[in-house]
């Protein structure tokens, strides 16, 4: 945005509003992937090494707590220590491990092989060295933890600059409600209170401000059962907004070459499902009904994935992160509530097939209906 100084009050307000969605270089943490590296020469006395609790990705400079097990078969007493950036921390083995003791009954160290929790710093220049040191000064390398820069895939979404929060929206998964809530959080104003630059709906506004949020310090997405999302979309877009009526289709420039007299408008639920690909030629239908696996970033790209029923937990987490009250309204309420029982057997099986990749993507959250 090119402006001349001094700014008018209107220009200053506009600049403040627009800069709220811009990524600043100082806000982009470098993501590091921890990699466990065995010593080049392994000591046969080290029977078992396991390190747990380290996240798969960490922003550079962030600390993580790790714990684990080191089993050392030696009559010579030894201390386990962690070395990073030249600083050494002795790790006591205070907790018994009955499982290991039963597996190695003749090995005294097996009764106390679990190491205490230790803090690791994510730093590409400072690997972590885990080693044993005997009373005679002998050093036995156990394990190294290296932090390597991770080339994260692009994640298109909304970036809240003040808190380095990123959100990727999914149509018919509370996206209107969340966008309105995020706009209020970032600007202190409701989206509809005054004319916005460029006009249009909130989706148009955020489409113009969409950017790569992969490097945001905290990234989230909300997911929903694919068939429940479909039913919500049919109720809202087809029944309530009548986006498959001849009147609506006639208003779309992309449909200008279509003979609407022969177009099978206003389909029933079963008709829509049977001819799903045909109706998805209409842009607004394609936007709201496309499988999310075709456009949503891999779920491991996000710091937190919320199921649809966890909306209240999301609001609480954002309130905690920003220090401001965050409420999510229910903005899209048009249309009847359609239940799964409305679907016939053929229609249900076809929907399961259509959203097969979505159910695979969301297998830790939702399973396809079995009937």
Task: Give me the DSSP letters along 290-344.
Answer: S-GGGTSPPGGGSSEEEEGGGHHHHHHHHHHHHTS----------S----GGGS-
Question: Cα(43)–Cα(333) distance, rounded to whole angstroms?
Answer: 65
Q: Would you place residue 80 in the very low, low, confident or very high pLDDT band (cuts 50, 70, 90)?
A: confident
pLDDT score recorded for residue 99:
72
The burial of 367, by beta-carbon neighbours within 10 Å (0-12 exposed, 13-18 middle, 19 or more buried), is given as exposed
Closest Cα to residue 258, out of 279, 233, 242? Answer: 279
- Give the distance between the most distant pair of CA atoms in the chain: 93
pLDDT tens per residue across span 310-363? 999 999 999 999 999 999 988 777 788 999 999 999 999 999 999 999 999 999
Q: Would you place residue 256 in the very low, low, confident or very high pLDDT band (cuts 50, 70, 90)?
A: confident
In this predicted structure, which of 146-150, 152-156, 257-261 has the lowest mean pLDDT?
152-156
Which residue's entry shows tokens 């070459």?
257
pLDDT at 58 over 70: yes
**Highest averaged pLDDT of the listed ranges 21-30, 42-51, 116-125, 266-275:** 266-275
Which residue's entry shows tokens 């380290």?
54
pLDDT at 167 over 90: yes
pLDDT score recorded for residue 59:
81
Check if the beta carbon of residue 195 is closer than 8 Å to that of residue 259.
no
The burial of 25, by beta-carbon neighbours within 10 Å (0-12 exposed, 13-18 middle, 19 or more buried), is given as exposed
Q: Would you place residue 114 in the very low, low, confident or very high pLDDT band (cuts 50, 70, 90)?
A: low
Question: Cα(353)–Cα(246) distance, rounded to whole angstroms?
Answer: 29
Check if the beta carbon of residue 155 is closer than 8 Å to that of residue 301.
yes
Question: Cα(319)–Cα(315) distance, rounded to whole angstroms?
Answer: 6
Selected residue with higher pLDDT from 229 and 209: 229
The residues facing 79 across adjacent strands are 133
At 79, give phi and psi (nearest 5°): -105, 140
Selected residue with higher pLDDT from 88 and 235: 235
pLDDT score recorded for residue 215:
76
**Alpha-carbon dihedral sign for residues 263, 269, 270, 276:** positive
Alpha helices in the chain (DSSP H): 9-19, 98-103, 175-187, 202-208, 226-233, 246-250, 269-274, 276-279, 283-289, 311-322, 345-354, 356-361
Q: Would you place residue 183 in the very low, low, confident or very high pLDDT band (cuts 50, 70, 90)?
A: very high
pLDDT score recorded for residue 74:
81
Structure-token pair, residue 298: 């891999």
Average pLDDT over residues 289-305: 93
The residues facing 69 across adjacent strands are 50, 114
Please enumerate in sequence order all residues whose Cβ is within 8 A of that of 174, keeping only pairs 6 or more positions apart, or say none.
Answer: 222, 308, 311, 328
For 242, left (φ over 0), alpha (ψ -120 to 50), or beta? left
Q: Would you place residue 25 in the very low, low, confident or very high pLDDT band (cuts 50, 70, 90)?
A: very low
Percent of the chain whose predicted confidence (pLDDT) is above 70: 85
Parallel/antiparallel/unpaired status of strands 139-149 and 31-37: antiparallel
Average pLDDT over residues 112-137: 84
Q: Would you place residue 258 in the very low, low, confident or very high pLDDT band (cuts 50, 70, 90)?
A: confident
**Highest averaged pLDDT of the listed ranges 81-90, 92-101, 277-286, 325-334:** 277-286
**Helix orientation angle between 226-233 and 345-354, rounded to the nearest 10 degrees:** 110
- What average pLDDT does the structure give for the chain? 85
Question: Cα(168)–Cα(297) distance, rounded to whole angstroms?
Answer: 8
The residues facing 68 across adjacent strands are 51, 115
């Amino acid at each position: 945005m090119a402006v001349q100084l001094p700014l008018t009050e209107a220009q200053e307000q506009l600049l403040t509003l627009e800069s709220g969605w811009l990524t600043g270089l100082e806000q982009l943490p470098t993501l590091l992937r921890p990699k466990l590296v065995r010593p080049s020469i392994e000591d046969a006395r080290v029977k078992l090494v396991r390190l747990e609790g380290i996240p798969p990705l960490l922003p550079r400079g962030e600390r993580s707590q790790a714990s684990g097990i080191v089993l050392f078969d030696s009559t010579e007493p030894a201390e386990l220590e962690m070395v990073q950036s030249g600083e050494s921390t002795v790790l006591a083995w205070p907790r018994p491990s009955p499982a290991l003791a039963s597996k190695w009954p003749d090995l005294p160290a097996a009764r106390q092989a679990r190491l205490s929790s230790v803090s690791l710093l994510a730093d590409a220049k400072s690997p972590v060295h885990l080693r044993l040191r005997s009373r005679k000064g002998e050093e036995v390398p156990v394990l190294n933890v290296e932090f390597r820069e991770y080339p994260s895939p692009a994640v298109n979404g909304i970036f809240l600059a003040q808190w380095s929060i990123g959100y990727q929206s999914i149509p018919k998964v509370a996206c209107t409600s969340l966008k309105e809530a995020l706009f209020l959080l970032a600007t202190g104003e409701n989206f509809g209170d005054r004319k916005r630059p460029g006009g249009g709906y909130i989706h148009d506004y955020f489409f113009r401000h969409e950017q790569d949020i992969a490097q945001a310090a905290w990234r989230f997405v909300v997911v929903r059962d694919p068939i429940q999302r479909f039913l919500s979309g049919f109720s809202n877009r087809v029944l309530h907004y009548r986006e498959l009526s001849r009147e609506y289709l006639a208003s779309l420039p992309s449909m200008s070459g279509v003979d609407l007299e022969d177009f099978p408008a206003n389909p029933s639920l079963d008709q829509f499902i049977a001819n799903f690909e045909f109706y998805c030629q209409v842009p607004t239908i394609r936007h709201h009904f496309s499988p999310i696996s075709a456009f949503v970033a891999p779920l491991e790209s996000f710091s937190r994935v919320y199921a649809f029923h966890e909306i209240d937990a999301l609001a609480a987490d954002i309130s905690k992160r920003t220090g401001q009250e965050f409420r999510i309204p229910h903005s899209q309420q048009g249309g009847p509530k359609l239940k799964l029982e409305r679907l016939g057997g053929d229609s249900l099986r076809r929907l399961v097939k259509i959203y097969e990749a979505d159910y695979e993507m969301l297998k830790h959250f939702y399973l396809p209906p079995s009937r």
